[in-house]
Amino acid sequence: MLKKIPINYISAFVIFIVVILWIFSGSFKNDTSEETVTAETNVEELISVRAKNYSSQNKTYFLTVRGRTEADKIVLLKPKTTSTLTYAIDKGLSVSKDEIICELDPENRLAALDEANASKNKAQLQYDAVKQLADEGYRSENAVATADAALKASIARVEMATNEVENLKIKAPFDGFIEDIFLEPGDLIAPNTPCAKIMKLDPMVITGEVTEKNVDQVNLNQKVNIKLLDNKEVTGVVSFISKSANPSTRTYKIEATIENSNGTIREGLSADMFVPLREVIAHLIPSYLISLNDEGDLGIKILTNNRVQFAEIQIVEDTIDGLWVTGLPKDVTIITVGQEYVINGQEVKVQMLN
């Protein structure tokens, strides 16, 4: 017959069982609470971003040509003879065609013209007399020919003397602006010495250079938009396209002319020429949305079913209002706030902006 187990052993065993049950019950509770915390943490890890819907628009793609303004004509006025300068117009004046710019001392040229005219009158009288006698049969045809030759020679001397006098006046070859006067009255001037510099400012010419890739896209008589340094915008027409490339830069010179009847556009100003090439479908977006992916490609972050997607883009034009870009769907949702904190493929919370 079994011995009776002491009561203190039984109490110790019961306490042991209770402790074991308590320990295991605590472990299950901790596991459950940890799973709950983890689940709650996963929910909280979804980053909130703000986004806005953008739609594409028709946009004219322009080729931007950096250039400058040039006068249509620039001429250094030089005399055809040598003499002393007696008159010069003031620089900075607008002049008309054939207006006298500089004038030289006639010296003995007026006397030479008087002498030539007198000789011509004498020769004319001699010729008339010989011709009359020949008609009456008293002089030969040879005498008439000699008198005619003398008359023509005297007429030629009158023309040469007249030209010498006319050459004393240096006139404007076109309507223009006197940019500079190089001599003062009293200075000796020769045919290789310029008296003045005159510029034709209407029309004004905008010159620039385009690459060999783009030169075939520019056409003569094509209208172009021109933006000057002071943000003034005018319309011009392509008037020249070079057939020969610059050997240093491999670029081709093009020119466009613009109206400048009031002379407000100065020569030598920086100017941008915008040549329309083609129509494209593009989006206008703020420039701060642009980012790079790991490969260094240019793009922006868009949303598809609340997931981030990196979309590559190409910039068409940079304007004050933003960037015109291509490469996006017609209607697209773009992340505008928080794009720097999310990566491609990540799910996010989205707050849409108007």
Sheet of 169-171, strands arranged across: 169-171, 100-104, 83-88, 188-189
Q: pLDDT digits over 218-274, tens only? A: 999 999 999 998 888 999 999 999 999 999 989 999 999 999 988 889 999 999 999
Residues of the chain by 3-state class (helix, strand, coil), percent to 5? 30, 40, 30
Q: 274 to each of 71, 317, 320, how far by Cα in Å?
A: 20, 11, 15
Give me the residues paired with residue 40 across strands: none
pLDDT at 41: 46
Q: Which H, E and C letters describe 280-345, residue by residue?
A: EEEEEECHHHCEECCCCCEEEEEEECCEEEEEECEEEEEECCEEEEECCCCEEEEEEECHHHCCCC
SS3 163: helix
Q: pLDDT digits over 43-66, tens only? A: 457 888 899 999 999 888 888 899
pLDDT at 5: 61
Task: Please spell the DSSP secondary structure of 72-136, one letter per residue.
Answer: EEEEEE--SS-EEEEEEPPTT-EE-TT-EEEEE--TTHHHHHHHHHHHHHHHHHHHHHHHHHHHT
pLDDT at 135: 86
Dist. CA 2–CA 23, nearest whole Å: 33
pLDDT at 7: 67
Dist. CA 177–CA 95, nearest whole Å: 6
pLDDT at 4: 57
pLDDT at 1: 40
Tokens at residue 231, please?
A: 């943000």
SS3 347: strand
* Whole-number average pLDDT of the chain: 87
pLDDT at 197: 97
64-70+201-276 maps to CATH 2.40.30.170: yes
Contacts of 139 (CB under 8 A, 6+ apart): 130, 133
Are 243 and 220 in contact, with CB atoms under 8 Å apart?
no
Averages of pLDDT over each 10 residues, the chain, 354 residues:
58 71 61 49 71 90 90 94 94 94 94 93 92 85 90 93 93 95 94 95 94 91 91 92 92 95 90 89 91 88 91 86 90 90 88 85
pLDDT at 9: 65
Dihedrals φ, ψ of 263, to 5°? 70, 20
Contacts of 211 (CB under 8 A, 6+ apart): 250, 251, 252
Name the CATH superfamily, with its identifier, for domain 77-189.
Helix hairpin bin (1.10.287.470)
**Which residue ranges make up each domain of the chain?**
47-62+280-352, 64-70+201-276, 77-189
Tokens at residue 59, please?
A: 């946009």
The amino acid present at 306, given as its one-letter code, is: N
Q: Is 134 exposed, middle or buried (0-12, 13-18, 19+ CB in 10 A)?
A: middle
**Whether the model pTM is above 0.75:** no
- What would the CATH number be for the domain defined by 47-62+280-352? 2.40.420.20
